[in-house]
Chain A
Amino acid sequence: MKTVNFKKMFLTMFMFTLILVLAACGSEGADGASNFPNNSITVIQGFDPGGGSDQLAQVTQPHLQESLGVSFTNEYVPGAAGAVGWTRLAQQSENDGYTISITNSPMLMTNYIMNSEITYSLEDFEPIANVVTDPGIIVVPEDSEFDTYEEFATYLEENPGELNASNSGVGGDDFFTQLKWMEETGLEMELIPYEGDGPSWQAAAGGDVDASFNNLGVVYPQVSEGNLKPLVVFSEERIESIPDVPTAKELGLDLVSGSSRGYSAPAGIPEEAKQTLIDAFAQLEDNAEFKESLENLALPMDLKLGEDYASYLQAEEEAAAELWENVKDQYEQ
């Protein structure tokens, strides 16, 4: 009786293990060159779930899935303003087109401009498409004494360095927006880095910091619910969803800033895979359902495909390098 049981048990365990091993092998067999894609595509995300990158993934990927006929799996590798995830994409991922990443500008470039320890560069990537540009915004807690940008700026003029603001991490777009803003206005503020956009606005909503340099798309639900007050938005024109919030331009500041989010693959992916991916993104242009979901999130669509996206990143890299050169001595670790 005992032996029979044992054999059965052993057999079950063995079969189970075998199935698991076979399942694990499945993804190895993909042959990138022909009939791409025939396997699920992994999207490396350099930020916490629930942040801006994740939102983009959730609204974009179902449509890509439809046009490409394969599923998309998100892999969250947060830390160091996305650098942990992008280093993995650039240096540890197969360049077969089955691993891509959401690449954020300017963070993608500012990371290695600022930190020699980060060893990837723009050449390690094959930009596929930019999808949205999420404008920068300054938000304060709902119970903050500041209701308008003017009150906020006046206070800082009289009390330089008295207030602090959270950002999504050193080298992130919000960090750079704040640097640009401080350079442009001559005002001083303490910078406090967090791990991603989510924790950054939570710090402001919880009253840990006086303000947060964040992105409209990330904080919009909190703004519309009244958990956070927007002071100024760094876009070209006023945003429809928050019509009462002035742009920095209107206030006389030469400052347009934000976070662009798109998709890139590691450099050297097969030409066919690259073209297939670009075509899939091109279809988003006329997708009404997609446009509507972006509007719901207050994310302005900003589609740039292939070469266009590559040269846009190039230009952003130059701009960021110059800005960093100016303030470097202040912030060098």
Chain B
Amino acid sequence: MNDIMTGLINVLSIDSLFFIALGMALGIFVGSMPGLSATMAIAILLPLTYSMDPANGISMLASLYMGGMYGGSILAILLRTPGTPAAAATVLDGYIMTENGQAGRALGISLISGLVGGVIGSIVLLSIAPFLGRVALNIGALEMFAVAVLGITIISSLSAGSVIKGLMSGSLGLLISLMGMHAITGIPRFTFGSIYLFDGISFVVALIGLFSIPQALKLIEKDQELVKASKIKDKILPPWRLIIGQRLNLLRSSLIGVITGLIPGTGGDTASWFSYNEAKRFSREKEKFGTGHVEGLVAPESANNAVVGGALVPTITLGVPGSSTTAVLLGGLMIHGIMPGPTLMTEHADVAYTLLWAVLISCIFLFFIGLLYTKVAVGITRIPGRVLAPIIVLLCVVGTFAVQNSMVDVMIMFGFGILGYFMDKLSIPVAPLVVGMILGGMLDTSLHQSLLIGDGSWGVFLTSPVAVILLVIALISVLQSTPLFGKVAALFKK
């Protein structure tokens, strides 16, 4: 209890607050730019924290992480160019709202949802982290496989227009995710003998191409100002009533975010799709999703900020990074001479609790700095399409190059841009492709490991209750989207 209070007092000092605010501002900025990520910014800033007090340095980086998760949505909403993979699901309803002239409202809802998600995530982190750490340890290959299967079923709900087109897009995503050297056996697949494809296709690179390039082309084709958006006089902050109305959605999505963050190897990109899918499943207005529906925006936005708290749980309690960003954070702790792992909470309790409080306090800065940044960002919508389009392309090229300093990646990005453009033209949904790419690798590796654990028997999945429950939910999801389900349901109604 003492350590908790010491941590709070540490965080509330002037310099600590200053660094948290600085981290937040940087995070929101890099998050909003396609290709630049919080992970990258943390890696760059890490050497600067060597000379700082460890608690301040780590607090700044954690706040940056939180900011990055939120920042990705700003341009996703305004320009259909997600700044981070975690904001891809935000495009579905967020950008449509902008097209409908509700850019300000969409940004406001995104901000509030991010705030709520962040706060719920940090409260979980602050209160039951050690317990959840043990839970995270028990997530093995079997459970990972079940999570991946459940995730794949999201494709069915994302392909509302035409199931065939959705499945086509989803399978393409799965195939693309299998490219590169196989993680378990080391055998290269779909590399066409090219060394550049040995690492597979970077998800961030593909995502930039899929969303941003078609958007730039569309802007030129129409050459219209986003007139509706610039005319908006609507308040950014949504009415209190609306937030209260979304309380269940906010809570559910945040919890999904925390849990997804908890699982090592999955992060905001997965969480946002899961929560979108569940929001749709429980919604009374399913048909409105994808048409600028508030619920469809609230879900991914609260989930991806809640991930921060969840992902920090195994990082702090076990020394196992819950996402790529926390992996870099972990490196930061080690450099300060603090060995993450089971002993962190006891031996370095002051730093650990300062970090935990910093995550919570950073949410407050998220709100104010986010509000400021959004107000500036809305100005983008006043720029005519023919000017904006080349800027988007330029940002895409620079952002993609920055990911791995590779020109090959830039070519791949353009390749995906062309793919995305024609998919739009043929009205094949892009979202299933994205989901396929996120989950394909996890599905492949965890299945391979599970079958090895079970001596090649598929019955091995029945030995894990969690896996069974998740697989049953997946089965129900599949049945729900077949005509059969309607008939069975009708039968019961009689």
- Does B486 belong to the interface (CB within 8 Å)? no
- Complex Cα–Cα for A193 and B182 (A): 12
Question: B residues 380-406 with Cβ under 8 Å of A?
Answer: 380, 382-384, 387, 391, 394-395, 398, 401-402, 405
The answer on a CB contact under 8 Å between B319 and A221 is: yes
Q: Which residues of B contact A84 (CB under 8 A)?
A: 180-181, 198-199
B13 at the interface (CB under 8 A from A): no
**Which residues of chain A are within 8 angstroms of B342 by Cβ–Cβ distance?**
221-222, 225, 227
Chain B residues lying within 8 Å of A290, measured Cβ to Cβ, are none
Whether A79 lies near B199 (C-beta < 8 A) is yes
A-B contact count (CB 8 A): 152
Residue B155 is within 8 A (CB to CB) of chain A in the complex: no
B138, B187, B330: which contacts A206 (Cβ < 8 A)? B138
Question: Is A170 engaged at the interface, CB distance under 8 Å to the other chain?
Answer: yes
8 contacts between A and B (CB under 8 A): A50-B321, A74-B331, A79-B180, A80-B182, A169-B186, A193-B184, A206-B137, A221-B341
How many chain-A residues does the 8 Å CB contact rule pick out?
Answer: 69
Q: A17, A83, A207: which contacts B138 (Cβ < 8 A)?
A: A207
Interface pair A49/B391, CB less than 8 Å apart: no
Give the CA-CA distance A104 to B187 in the complex, in Å: 20
Quick check: B331 and A49 within 8 Å, CB to CB? yes
Q: Does A185 contact B (CB under 8 A)?
A: no
Residues of B within 8 A of A (CB): 43, 47, 50, 137-142, 180-188, 195-196, 198-199, 264, 319-321, 324, 327-328, 330-331, 334-335, 337, 339, 341-343, 379-380, 382-384, 387, 391, 394-395, 398, 401-402, 405, 445, 449, 452-453, 455
Cβ-defined contact, A76 with B394, below 8 A? no
Q: Which chain B residues lie closer than 8 Å to A91 at the CB level?
A: 195
B186–A10 touching, CB < 8 Å: no
Contact in complex: B449, A192 (CB < 8 Å)? yes
Given A49-B328, A195-B183 in contact, is the A208-B453 Cβ separation under 8 Å? yes
B183 touches A50 (CB 8 A): no
Report yes or no: B335 in contact with A13, Cβ–Cβ below 8 A: no
Cβ of A58: which chain B residues have Cβ within 8 Å of it?
Answer: 331, 334-335
Hey, which chain A residues are within 8 Å of B394, CB to CB?
A: 17
Q: A27-67 toward B: CB 8 Å interface, digit per residue (1/0)?
A: 10000000000000000000011100011011100100000
**A202-B183 in contact (CB<8A):** no
A contact residues vs B (CB 8 Å cutoff): 2, 5-6, 9-10, 13-14, 17, 20-21, 24, 27, 48-50, 54-55, 57-59, 62, 71, 73-74, 76-81, 83-84, 87-88, 91-92, 111, 114-115, 117-118, 164, 169-171, 190-195, 198-199, 202-203, 205-209, 221-222, 224-225, 227, 293, 296-297, 333
Which B residue's beta carbon lies closest to that of A196? B183
Q: Are B183 and A80 in contact (CB under 8 A)?
A: yes
Complex CA gap A2/B387 in Å reads 15
Whether B181 contacts A80 by the Cβ 8 Å rule is yes
**Which residue in chain A gives the minimum CB-CB distance to B402?**
A24
**Min CB distance, B88 to chain A, in Å?**
22
Chain A residues with Cβ under 8 A from B331's Cβ?
Answer: 49, 54, 57-58, 74
Q: Nearest CB to that of A209 among chain B residues?
A: B453
A13-B337 Cα distance, complex, nearest whole Å: 40
Once the chains bind, are A192 and B452 in contact (CB under 8 Å)? yes
Q: Taking A58-B334, A117-B186, A225-B341 as contacts, is the C-beta distance between A208 and B195 under 8 angstroms?
A: no
Report Cα–Cα, A207/B319, bound state, in Å: 18
In the bound complex, how far is the Cα of B47 from the Cα of A227, in angstroms?
32
Report A333 CB to chain B, min CB distance, Å: 6
Which of B186, B195, B324, B330 is most buried by chain A, counting CB atoms within 10 A of its CB?
B186
Contact of A164 among B180, B327, B453 (CB under 8 A): B453
Chain A residues, CB < 8 A from B199: 77, 79, 84, 88
- Complex: A115 Cα to B181 Cα, angstroms: 12
Tell me if A27 and B186 are in contact (CB < 8 A).
no
